[in-house]
Amino acid sequence: MESFTPLTAALGGTLIGLAAAVLWLGNGRIAGISGIFGQLLPPAQTVLWRLVFLVCLVAATFLAARAFPQLGVGGVVPAELVPPPAAWSVPVPVWLIAAGLLTGIGTRIGNGCTSGHGVCGLARLSLRSLVAVAVFFSVAILTVAVTGIV
């Protein structure tokens, strides 16, 4: 955690909360990324707002990283994806595909993701979201303890 910066963390959290509030107040929808993305295939009747939200999410992140590289995790050097442990000898594409599939399966089983449960669910005082967030954090702590990857 040598790269923790409270100012950028607070700014990022504020922007995430603001985006969730705007989507909820303006569209009546919860800003759970897995739910928004998951309803694209097969297409739901409400595809347009989902596509706009996801494109803006990626575009804003890209633009912010280019405009303010010093605010990132690595300072002026952009952050990189965590490679697979060397002892496992797993190719990076396989590592990324497995991570994506496991994340997708987990969000389907958990009926939501960290953004839906952690940001929106806790704000709505949802007991289900509180349990989900406790499980997310417990598994994350266990994973870091077991793998040593931070």
* CA dist., res. 141 & res. 150, Å (int): 10
- The per-residue pLDDT for 138 is 94
- Look at the pTM and tell me if it is higher than 0.75: no
Helices of type H across the chain: 6-27, 33-38, 47-67, 92-109, 114, 122-123, 127-147
Cβ atoms of 23 and 29 within 8 Å: the answer is: yes
CA 96 to each of CA 41, 82, 106: distance values in angstroms, whole numbers, following the listed order: 21, 9, 15
Model confidence at 3: pLDDT above 80: no
* CA dist., res. 84 & res. 97, Å (int): 12
- What is the residue extent of each domain of the chain? 1-80, 82-150
Pick 26 or 114 by higher pLDDT.
Answer: 26
**How does residue 125 score in pLDDT terms, banded at 50, 70 and 90?**
very high
Query: How many CB atoms are located within 10 Å of the residue 17 CB?
Result: 14
For the purposes of burial, counting CB atoms within 10 Å of the CB of 107, is it exposed (0-12), middle (13-18) or buried (19 or more)?
buried
Model confidence at 70: pLDDT above 80: no
Pick 46 or 129 by higher pLDDT.
Answer: 129
Cβ atoms of 41 and 54 within 8 Å: the answer is: no
The owner of tokens 């190719």 is 91
